[in-house]
Amino acid sequence: MMTSFERTISALSHKEGDRVPLFLLLSIYGAKEMQVSIKEYFSRPELILEAQIRMKKKYNNDCFYSFSYAPIEIEAWGGEVIFVEDGPPNSGENFIKSIDQISTMKVPDVRGDKNLARVLETTQMLKAEAGDETPIIGVVMSPFSLPVIQMGFEKYLELLYFHEAEFQKLMRINTEFCVEWANAQIEAGATAICYFDPLASPNIIEKEKYMATGNLVARETIGRIKGPTATHLASGIAFPVINEVTSTGTAVLGFSANDDLKEIKAAAKDRICLLGNLNALEMVHWSASQVESHVKNVIAEAGIGGGLILAENHGEIPWQVSEDTLIQISEAVRKWGNYPLDWVENG
């Protein structure tokens, strides 16, 4: 039997390992596992370590996830984070209040920030536990998508479409921050970096605008990250930009439950590994038979020949998903995901 790392490498290499890898991206869910508040959970690396160990064993998960919450990057800029009881923390009031403010912004000190330091400490602890057997997935917000929580979506659209000079300035600042933050996580022990870039999806920004802006930013940023990356569109459709995302040099593409499985598998074959595409929101209400049906379908349509890591499509398991559902997902992968997938070929 392969280790989680070996199984994942096989998928990335478009080869069939012993089974399809399962990446349950469990962040806030760890607080549920440890029976503490989300705020307390993220304040203590030892809790995160213990939760990740427990959840890997409980759900036969193939990765450790060192991600805490997206607004932790905003904290590094002096912004506010709002914690809730049963969901991911949110950014508070936008800290970029006017476009003119961008001209005076400076890149935060990644290694000097106490909140980011906790993530690095957690990553180091996970690496000591994992060794070379389990991949550790770190996370950055892309420089192109980060402004949504820096300044708000409406003001960012104004910047993107009508203020070229200020937009380019913010991209340069955000790129330096993103590269430093990603590389700090890799140095701490992360195996790969999940590059969250929801604005790359044509669900949000038209493809032509993305190609003239975010794609160029991604090419530069990913080219400077000292490890493999997985580009995740946070449930946005991926097929219309699969060629463009592949051109950035990323190794993995997180795809949506709204993407056509056959279509995207054909486009990705031997070019980019797919991560997805179970619907994270609908998962909350799935019955056991629905779990098995969805897992079986993804594996049948996208698993042959490798190149698939089974995961949900948003990048974080919602708090409201039951443990039973996660166990059922794991059991379905063990039932239907073993290579070779003879049951698919034999109809």
Neighbours of 312 (CB within 10 A): 26
Q: Residue 278: its pLDDT value, please? A: 97
Residue 347, pLDDT above cutoff 70: no
Give me the percent of the chain exceeding a pLDDT of 70. 99
Residue range 4-345, CATH number: 3.20.20.210
Mean pLDDT of 307-322: 96
Residues 192 and 269: their CA atoms lie apart, in Å, by: 21
As a whole number of Å, the CA-based R_g of the chain is: 19
What does the DSSP 8-state code read for residue 204?
T
Kindly write down the DSSP assignment for every residue of 247-274, as one continuous string.
TTT-SEEE--TTS-HHHHHHHHTTT-EE
pLDDT band, very low/low/confident/very high, at 270 (cuts 50, 70, 90): very high
pLDDT of res. 234: 92
Give the per-residue pLDDT at 346.
56
- Asked whether the predicted pLDDT for residue 158 surpasses 70, the reply is yes
- Contact present, 7 and 62 (Cβ < 8 Å): yes
pLDDT digits (tens, 9 = 90+) for 82-140: 999 999 999 999 999 999 999 999 999 999 999 999 999 999 999 999 999 999 999 99
**178 touches 170 (CB < 8 A):** no
Q: What pTM was computed for the model?
A: 0.96
Q: Is 14 left (phi over 0), alpha (psi -120 to 50) or beta?
A: left
Confidence of residue 307 (pLDDT cuts 50, 70, 90): very high
C-alpha–C-alpha distance, residues 112 and 327, integer Å: 39
Tell me the average pLDDT across 223-234.
97
pLDDT in tens, 173-218: 999 999 999 999 999 999 999 999 999 999 999 999 999 999 999 9
Note the pLDDT of residue 177: 98
| Residue 235, pLDDT above cutoff 60 | yes
Q: What is the pLDDT of residue 87?
A: 93
pLDDT for residue 303: 97
